[in-house]
Structure 1
Amino acid sequence: METNEEKLRRLEFYQEILLTVIDQSYPFYALIIKHELSKQEVEEVYQLCAKLDYEFTKQKEEGFVTFSPLLTHFVGMLNYKLEPHETIKALYDQDIYPELMALLTKIIHEN
């Protein structure tokens, strides 16, 4: 009979394998697993992105040409377990808020 510790080790091994598989196609999901974010923490990242995407759209319509405060807000409000540049790239690569993530990437490269 397998002990709980053996089951846990086996599940951790399976998780490593799955991370390797999803890392290329779903980089943001891979970050979630690697950094052990809870469902609530992931929802907070999505809410942050939705809020910033709304602000970006609104500011574009109002004729803004500088969007650096959006990056500052993203970095300041992002979960401490996540690195901002890596997260932006993962979100962009997974096609989550791609226009916003492209903008944030552009701002990073300009600075």
Structure 2
Amino acid sequence: MENEKDYSTKTFHIQLLTKTMDMEQYPLVRMIIENNISKQEYDELFEHLEGLYQQYTMQKEEGLLDFTSLLVHFAGMLNVKLHPDAVIAALKKEGYYPSLMDVFMQILKENGR
């Protein structure tokens, strides 16, 4: 019973903290909290992103111009709790992997999303 009380209190404290800061500046953080993403899931997201960024860099150096396959891979590797378009926008706004997120956003724009 004590664990439930501790969890409830911590959840409440987090809710209070998120109300005191401008969460519009941190859309990824907001998404992580709202979708109850664990530390392990968060770490996995960034491990996958790092791998995709390395692939993007290599493909770009080789002269590849179409990175749609990387976007498809990104969407497929995402936690089911997260929506690819929203995560891309959030990552871009927070400054993570800007060149890769620019490419992903361009592909989405070209496909009417």
Q: TM-score, normalised by structure 1?
A: 0.86
Aligned length: 109
Gaps of 5+ in 1: none
> What's 2:18 paired with?
19
- Superposed CA deviations along residues 72-110 of structure 1, whole A, max 9, x for unmatched, are 000011111101111111111010111111111111111
Secondary structure at the aligned position of 2:66 is classed as coil
> What's 2:88 paired with?
88
Gaps of 5+ in 2: none
CA change 1:94–1:108 in 2 (3 A) is: same
Q: Percent identity?
A: 39
Q: Is the 8 A contact 1:92 1:102 kept in 2?
A: yes
Distance in 2 between residues matched to 1:7 and 1:47, nearest whole Å: 31
Cα RMSD after superposing both structures: 1.9
Could you list the runs of 4 or more consecutive aligned residues of structure 1 that deviate by over 2 angstroms after TM superposition?
A: 3-20
> What's 2:71 paired with?
71
CA change 1:33–1:59 in 2 (3 A) is: same
Q: TM-score, normalised by structure 2?
A: 0.84
Q: Is the 8 A contact 1:78 1:84 kept in 2?
A: yes
